[in-house]
Amino acid sequence: MKIVILGYGKMGHEVEQIALQRGHEVAYRIDTEQDWYCNIDDIADCDVVIEFSTPDTAIANIEKCFELDIPIVIGTTGWYAHLDDIKNRCKNEGHTIFYAPNFSLGMNFVMNLNKEMAKFAKKYNYQLDITETHHIHKLDKPSGTAVKLAEDIIENNDNYEYWELDDDMQENDDKMLRINAIREGEVFGIHEIKALSECDEITLRHEAFSRKGFATGAVIAAEFIQGKKGVFTMEDLIK
């Protein structure tokens, strides 16, 4: 594949290394508006864009790819308030996107376990909460992964109706699922889901040791969507 990396920061550099290791060509590295428009004609001839930018620029980046009708893998989180609009436009206009709150294969395995633990907690009266820890440079809070974990719990355990960030809590409601978000040091990402009863505590925990897992998942996602149209996630890839 001829890959365009959109957002050439630490994640962009990691994606480049993985793409090269897997035998792909990194045709362009886009980090500014000037980079994009200086190469726009040639970008249109590439196979896929892998995007790791910022929540503030993600929507504009997706729209640029729609204009060129080039598939895009979106690693940025924090823009999901616009997700329904983007998905509808993608389907209506025949484009291709692959988005995920977390591209780590290991984390997506934990996400599946989280759904099962939510059902278990409902049946046996365990209380659930989520804690996520990331580096101080992460802009969105809570992480997209933590939000996805919370949404899956709510879908599979009707003891909970909504989630709330611990910092924003106004009151303690039994129907509320608490998310604790910690920003410290250079932590790549830790997610913990705890189930607590009077008898014991169960913990699901995933810790990323580096950015390599996220980059690997993103490149595999780019390979997966070649020749496909529509909206795809890690659940589609893992299946």
Domain map (residue ranges) of the chain = 2-103+212-238, 105-207
Can you name the CATH fold of 2-103+212-238?
Rossmann fold (3.40.50)
Give the pLDDT mean for 157-169: 89
| Rounded Cα–Cα distance for residues 99 and 154 (Å) | 21
Nearest Cα neighbor of 36 from 24, 55, 21, 53 is 53
pLDDT at 37: 86
pLDDT at 77: 87
Sign of the CA dihedral running 71, 31, 24, 74:
negative
Q: How many other C-beta atoms are found inside a 10 Å radius of the C-beta of residue 209? A: 8
| Rounded Cα–Cα distance for residues 161 and 149 (Å) | 14
In the chain, % of residues over pLDDT 90? 85
Give the tokens for residue 33.
Answer: 């508006």
134 is catalytic: yes
Q: Give 38-71 pLDDT, tens digit per residue.
A: 888 899 999 999 999 998 999 999 999 999 999 9
Give the tokens for residue 186.
Answer: 């250079």
pLDDT at 169: 64
pLDDT at 173: 83
> Do the domains spanning 2-103+212-238 and 105-207 agree at the CATH topology level?
no
24 is catalytic: no
Q: Which residues of 114-124 are buried (b: 16+ CB within 10 A; e: fewer)?
A: beebbeebbee
Give the pLDDT mean for 167-184: 86
Q: How many helices (H) and strands (E) does the chain have?
A: 9, 11
Q: Is 51 helix (H, G, I), strand (E, B) or coil?
A: strand
> Which among 24, 134, 148, 206 is annotated as catalytic?
134
Q: How many other C-beta atoms are found inside a 10 Å radius of the C-beta of residue 10? A: 13
Give the pLDDT mean for 202-215: 95
> Which among 95, 138, 191, 206 is annotated as catalytic?
138
Q: Which amino acid, one-letter code, is at 186?
A: E
Length of the chain, please? 239
Can you name the CATH fold of 105-207?
Dihydrodipicolinate Reductase; domain 2 (3.30.360)
Burial class (CB in 10 A: 0-12, 13-18, 19+), 212: middle
